[in-house]
Structure 1
């Protein structure tokens, strides 16, 4: 399950970006391009899961919007390396995406409104940690 789609790449990077990146022209096979894009999105989603698996149960349900943007930027980076079209903009966005993933994994940033909750007896816990103890044995 990918956290993003080809449509989201086109929304974030522009309509003709993928054609330019994959070297598509009237003689190119569109099926090959679609497969390469789908594979890059799956690999990017796998990289996201690796970073977040310590803190969250992956794959994360509901596809938070923050992960969509991260997935797109990692997938574009993977495509650019394969097609020798790597630019500083693509590389910078990739580095920013990985840095954000690290911050989310460390608990320094969240996934926004779609943040998965961990349930305790007292209700949902936002930061993923809660304390549980047996009832008091002695009073004052």
Structure 2
């Protein structure tokens, strides 16, 4: 199951733009092969970052992953045709930073999190018992 669809991409780009980015044969229509390749590439990138901590592909797809999948797929569509704009590159970079932090365990997806996910905001825990004391004032006499 892909993390985003053509309809999701249409939420960021109008159909005319999608045609410009995908229609290599000048048919005047969206080339679904190029769209699906960009979506597949985005999925592979996401799985690469998250696969060390989560079972991939993710099912169900967390909303944040779907959002970033669209950003990555659109970045790939723009890059293949005319080069990505600065704002598109910034969105792509933000997605990769987020995925990197999730992969490192610094952030979570909020669903199906691994049990061993470290939490930076948790206070350190104190031990409830101490080991037996080895030295005291009395045992150090004579040194």
Q: Secondary structure at the residue paired with 2:57?
A: coil
Q: Secondary structure at the residue paired with 1:59?
A: coil
Contact 1:2 1:45 survives alignment (8 Å): yes
CA distance, structure 2, for counterparts of residue 126 and residue 66 of structure 1: 21
Residue of structure 2 in register with 1:66 after alignment: 64
Residue of structure 2 in register with 1:10 after alignment: 10
Residue of structure 2 in register with 1:56 after alignment: 54
The structure whose Rg is larger is 2
Mark the runs of 5 or more structure 2 residues left unpaired by the alignment: 119-143
Q: Does 1:45 align with 2:35?
A: no
**TM-score, with length taken from structure 2:** 0.71
- Greater fraction of residues in strand: 1
Match of 1:127 among 117, 137, 142: 117
Contact 1:21 1:85 survives alignment (8 Å): no
Higher alpha-carbon deviation: 42-51 or 100-109: 100-109
